[in-house]
Amino acid sequence: MKLHWWLAGCWILIPAISLAQQAMPVKKGNGYTLSSLKGQLMGIDPDQGGRISFLTMDGVNFLTDSLVNKENWGSTFWPSPQSDWNWPPPAAWDNQPYTVTLEGNRLKMQSVVDPKSGLAVTKFFSANVQAGYYELEYVITNQTAIVKKVAPWEVTRVHPNGFCFFPMGKGHLRGGLMPQTTLENGICWYRYEQQKIPAQGDSQLYTDGSEGWFAAVNGDIILIKKFPDIAFEAAAPKEGEVELYANKDVPQKSYVEIEHQGAFTELAPGQSFSWTMQWFLRKLPRRIKAASGNGALIEYVRKVVN
Query: What is the model's pLDDT at position 21?
Result: 53
pLDDT in tens, the chain (306 residues): 444 444 444 434 444 444 335 689 999 988 999 997 889 999 999 999 999 999 999 999 999 999 999 999 999 999 999 999 999 999 999 999 999 999 999 999 999 999 999 999 999 999 999 999 999 999 999 999 999 999 999 999 999 999 999 999 999 999 999 999 999 999 999 999 998 998 888 999 999 999 999 999 999 999 999 999 999 999 999 999 999 999 988 889 999 999 999 999 999 999 999 999 999 999 999 999 999 999 999 999 999 999
Query: What is the model's pLDDT at position 170?
Result: 97
Query: What is the model's pLDDT at position 277?
Result: 99
In this structure, what DSSP letter does residue 109 have?
E
Spell out the domains of the chain, with CATH numbers in brackets.
Answer: 2-305 (2.70.98.10)
CA angle 27, 29, 30 (to 5 degrees): 90
Q: How far apart are CA 128 and CA 245, in angstroms?
A: 30
Point out which residues pair with 217 in neighbouring strands.
Answer: 163, 222
In this structure, the number of other CB atoms found within 10 A of the CB of residue 58 comes to: 10
Q: How far apart are CA 140 and CA 143, in angstroms?
A: 9
pTM of the model: 0.92
Q: Which residues neighbour 282 within 8 Å (Cβ) at sequence distance 6 or greater?
A: 221, 222, 224, 304
Q: Cα–Cα distances in Å, from 173 out to 7, 31, 143, 183? A: 40, 38, 35, 10
Q: How far apart are CA 65 and CA 297, in angstroms?
A: 27
Query: What is the model's pLDDT at position 23?
Result: 83
Query: What is the model's pLDDT at position 144?
Result: 99
Q: Is 22 helix (H, G, I), strand (E, B) or coil?
A: coil
For the chain, the 3-state helix, strand and coil shares in percent, each to the nearest 5, are: 10, 45, 45
Point out which residues pair with 150 in neighbouring strands.
Answer: 265
In this structure, the number of other CB atoms found within 10 A of the CB of residue 99 comes to: 12
Residue 238 class from Cβ within 10 Å (0-12 exposed, 13-18 middle, 19+ buried)? exposed
In this structure, what DSSP letter does residue 160 have?
S
